[in-house]
Structure 1
Amino acid sequence: MRFLGRSLTGLFLLALTVGLLALAAGMVTSAFKARAERDSAEPSASERVFSANVMTVTAQTIAPKLTAYGELSSRRALDVRALTGGTVTEIAPNFETGGAVREGDPLLRIDPTDFEFALELAKTDVSQAEAELRDARAALELARDDLDNATRQADLREAALTRQRDLVERGVGTEAAVETAALAASAAQQAVLGKRQSVITAQARVSTAEAALRRSEIQLDEAERRLEETQITAEISGILTDVTVLRGGVVAANEKIGRIIDPSALEVRFRVSAAQYARLLGADGRLANTDVTVRLAAAGLNLTATGRIDRESADVGEGQTGRQIFATLEPSPGMRPGDFVTVIVAEPALPDTVLMPASALSAQNEVLVLGPEDRLSSAKVELLRRQDNDVIVRATALEGQEIVVERTPALGAGIRVRPVRSGEGIAPEPQAEMVTLAPERVALLRSFVESNDRMPEDARERILAQLDTGILPADTLARLEQRMGH
């Protein structure tokens, strides 16, 4: 009997062990199956959608603006120099740095005493030379009269000799009388030669006197000019600067004592790169007279002037790059030579181009294009110019399509967006789908939420409040059921 009881007990324990092993195998199998179903299930979370500003690509003809920086200078400037040395005896009240002068205004006077003495001496020399010239001309007239008289006497002597020879031929004269008449005629001819020499001498004296008079007149003109140089006047209208002399000071010849600048005749010189310079050349390969705009920012006040390109430098310049260009400006009140300004040059227009914000372009010159279902795709464009915060591109293939104007790290190809167009506000968030729950389902979900220790407290309270209403968002319901293993 004892053996039978122990056998039955062993069979019971064996059956119990087998049953427990079967139960454990079933539980493990169910666990693996549930895990496999959970891993293979599609996520129930909704796709995240970003808002993005978009613009429509419209090709147009755009004239790019080249921006450079330059310095203003005056096209009319003159150094005020002392043409002669001496002591400054008079000075104009406005002869000071910043003083405005007009053309012809007297500026200062250098002591003219020595130059006045020199002028008087020059006048005296001229008077003396004029007197000498008068005497020489009078002597010439007398010499010519003597020559005429001697010529007449010689003619008479020749006539007498001819008459004596006629008498000898008729036999009524003597040879002695002929010889006497011949000697008298020869003496008369000799006198004529002497008078001619006197005339030549008188003419030379006149020439010498005329040369002396001319030399004296030149010296007189020089003395007058030197005296006039003691009075310094303004040769152009403008504003004085760099004035370095006072009344009573001594200046040397050719010493710079100031400078006159005309602020109404301004030009700007600016430097551009070789590539920018090439874009400003005309069809003939020469620099075009393009319009320019000059801006000066002064304590919040923007001063603007317009002008045209006038010329360019002949060389690059030692230690420089690019090209230096000069532009003549219209009168621009408020600007002065030496101001550092921004120069905007209008380039030749580019057809079939698009102006867009620089934030729309990636480093690879790509833009994000809005496609079907508001999903983005990437497209390549040709970058032509950069202008401040904008770019000019050629995107013929994207005509009429919409692109994102502000790229962010969250945006890329395949991302779905809510487009925000110009003049429109941000599209509202789509309303979540709500599901009405049965009471027994609400009780089951409430029990799961209350027993879940890993759920944040604020999320638990929010879900319990929604369960009290019997209505729950579809995405929240899907997440809860997924965690419950349903």
Structure 2
Amino acid sequence: MMNTETKQKISGFVQLIAVILFIGTALAISIILQSNKKTIKNGQKVERVLFVEAQSFTPAPYAITLSTTGTVESRAAVDVVSQVSGRIISVNDNFYEGGHFAAGETLFQIDPRDYELTVERLEAELARAKTTLEIEQAESAAALEEWKMLNGSKVAPDLVLRKPQQKEAAANLKAAEAQLADAKLDLERTTFSLPFTGRVLSSNVSLGQFITAGQVYGSVFDTASLEIRSTIEEESLKFLHPIEDLAINVKTKHMGQDRTYSAFIKRSAASLDTQTRFAPLIFGFKDDANDLLPGTFVAVEITTAETNEVLAIPSTARQKDGRIWMVNADNTVSPLEGYTILHNNGDTLALSGITEAVHLVTSSLPGAIDGMKVDIREARK
């Protein structure tokens, strides 16, 4: 076994070797770094050159597209309310939830017999009133002849000529005519129909049921009154004029199939939404949209007429600080000036005020300054 003195000598020798190796390694690294360092002439600065993507753009006619969403609503949803009472003797097979019906189509029939009897009775009363008036008129004529025979040319009093009785008979005749017209109207109302083509939202009418006038027995809506309630950013309202130049498409899914409809702006609200600050818009359908139901979610795409001299560039060209950099002929950059952002749909910026072709940076360029050199890589289109 080695004694303590021998161990100490070996340990010291190992430490000496380690120190020599460390110093040698440091010297080698220093020599390598010095040999790889570029020689810089006195007074010369190293320029900072960034790789960027750039693309040329030319002003051209451009149609702005606005996108929004909305919900189908019915402007004319009405309750089913009978104007007469009676027992139901027939119900249209389509007068149930989801059913379609045409304008004037009978939806249900109330037993008309009581109303028919009322019409017959009032027709008899009308005939009696006519006869009474004719009798009074005849008696008045006879009284006038008798008066002339006895009194010559003297004016006969109204009572002698039975004028009050004639007025009463004429009034009774008008009342009888009105009562008969009212009874005939009630008889017509035993056949329930509506003056529009629509669909049934709900129905509580059954065969044999007794219904009461004025009570609600269902709900329907006019399919021609379907419209879309939507909203749009307030700053986009300027693109909606003139309305006749807009192309509006409505897209939705119906029964698992994609559907597209043409639409138009019917009206806009007079105030902004107090919470979202968006402007409400109401669209109408140009196409037949009878298959849609209130509550259907739709996507609305509004395309304006083309505007001349618009520069359409990718939104990536606008840096985080809001500036857009133009690449000059000597590969230096300078900020684009003299433009106005017409519209930003998230992917594309539409600029006005630029009348000539420009070469723009389309990638990120952090910390850029006017006159800075860049290395161009053409952007992939």
TM-score normalised according to structure 2 size: 0.74
Residue 308 (1) aligns with residue 246 (2): no
Distance, in Å, in 2 between the alignment partners of 1:197 and 1:394 is 93
Instruction: Identify the residue that residue 134 of structure 1 maps to in structure 2.
Output: 134
Residue 324 (1) aligns with residue 283 (2): no
Instruction: Identify the residue that residue 317 of structure 2 maps to in structure 1.
Output: 360
Residue 419 (1) aligns with residue 363 (2): no
Instruction: Identify the residue that residue 273 of structure 1 maps to in structure 2.
Output: 233
Unaligned stretches of 5+ in structure 1?
1-30, 156-191, 283-287, 423-486
Distance, in Å, in 1 between the alignment partners of 2:193 and 2:266 is 31
Aligned AA (2:313): M
Residue 239 (1) aligns with residue 199 (2): yes
Aligned AA (2:357): G
Higher RCO, 1 vs 2 (CA within 8 Å, ≥6 residues apart)? 2
Instruction: Identify the residue that residue 249 of structure 2 maps to in structure 1.
Output: 294
Q: Give 1:111-260 correspondences, 5 Å limit.
A: 111-151=111-151, 196-197=156-157, 200-260=160-220
Aligned AA (2:132): E
1:106 counterpart SS class = coil
Instruction: Identify the residue that residue 87 of structure 2 maps to in structure 1.
Output: 87
| Structure with more of its chain in helix, by fraction | 1
Residues 264 and 331, structure 1, Cα contact 8 Å, conserved in 2? no
Q: What's the CA shift string for 1:6-43, capped at 9, x where partnerless?
A: xxxxxxxxxxxxxxxxxxxxxxxxx89x8699279408
1:200 counterpart SS class = coil
Aligned AA (2:95): F
Q: Which moved more, 1:123-132 or 1:265-274?
A: 265-274
Q: Which moved more, 1:94-103 or 1:347-356?
A: 347-356
Pairwise CA distance, 1:336: 3.8
Residues 385 and 392, structure 1, Cα contact 8 Å, conserved in 2? yes
2:283 counterpart SS class = strand
Q: CA distance change for structure 1 residues 404 and 335 in 2, over 3 Å: closer, same or farther?
A: farther
Pairwise CA distance, 1:63: 2.6
Aligned AA (2:318): L
Q: What's the CA shift string for 1:378-415, capped at 9, x where partnerless?
A: 53454332114222234738x43433434388999644
Pairwise CA distance, 1:201: 4.8
Aligned AA (1:270): S
Instruction: Identify the residue that residue 19 of structure 2 maps to in structure 1.
Output: none
Residues 143 and 199, structure 1, Cα contact 8 Å, conserved in 2? no
Q: CA distance change for structure 1 residues 256 and 388 in 2, over 3 Å: closer, same or farther?
A: farther
Distance, in Å, in 1 between the alignment partners of 2:76 and 2:247 is 20
Pairwise CA distance, 1:348: 6.2
1:242 counterpart SS class = strand
Q: What's the CA shift string for 1:393-443, capped at 9, x where partnerless?
A: 34738x434334343889996442443554xxxxxxxxxxxxxxxxxxxxx
Distance, in Å, in 2 between the alignment partners of 1:70 and 1:243 is 28
Q: CA distance change for structure 1 residues 123 and 62 in 2, over 3 Å: closer, same or farther?
A: same
Pairwise CA distance, 1:202: 1.7
Residues 197 and 224, structure 2, Cα contact 8 Å, conserved in 1? no
Residues 102 and 237, structure 1, Cα contact 8 Å, conserved in 2? yes
Q: Over the residues paired in the alignment, what is the CA RMSD in angstroms?
A: 3.9
Residues 88 and 208, structure 2, Cα contact 8 Å, conserved in 1? yes
Instruction: Kindly tell me the number of residue pairs found equivalent between the two proteins.
Output: 342
Q: What's the CA shift string for 1:165-200, capped at 9, x where partnerless?
A: xxxxxxxxxxxxxxxxxxxxxxxxxxx78xx34763
Q: What's the CA shift string for 1:441-469, capped at 9, x where partnerless?
A: xxxxxxxxxxxxxxxxxxxxxxxxxxxxx
Residues 319 and 365, structure 2, Cα contact 8 Å, conserved in 1? no
Instruction: Identify the residue that residue 341 of structure 1 maps to in structure 2.
Output: 298
Distance, in Å, in 1 between the alignment partners of 2:175 and 2:216 is 32
Pairwise CA distance, 1:331: 0.9
Pairwise CA distance, 1:230: 1.5
Distance, in Å, in 2 between the alignment partners of 1:376 and 1:242 is 71
TM-score normalised according to structure 1 size: 0.60
| Structure with more of its chain in strand, by fraction | 2
Instruction: Identify the residue that residue 8 of structure 2 maps to in structure 1.
Output: none
Unaligned stretches of 5+ in structure 2?
1-26, 41-46
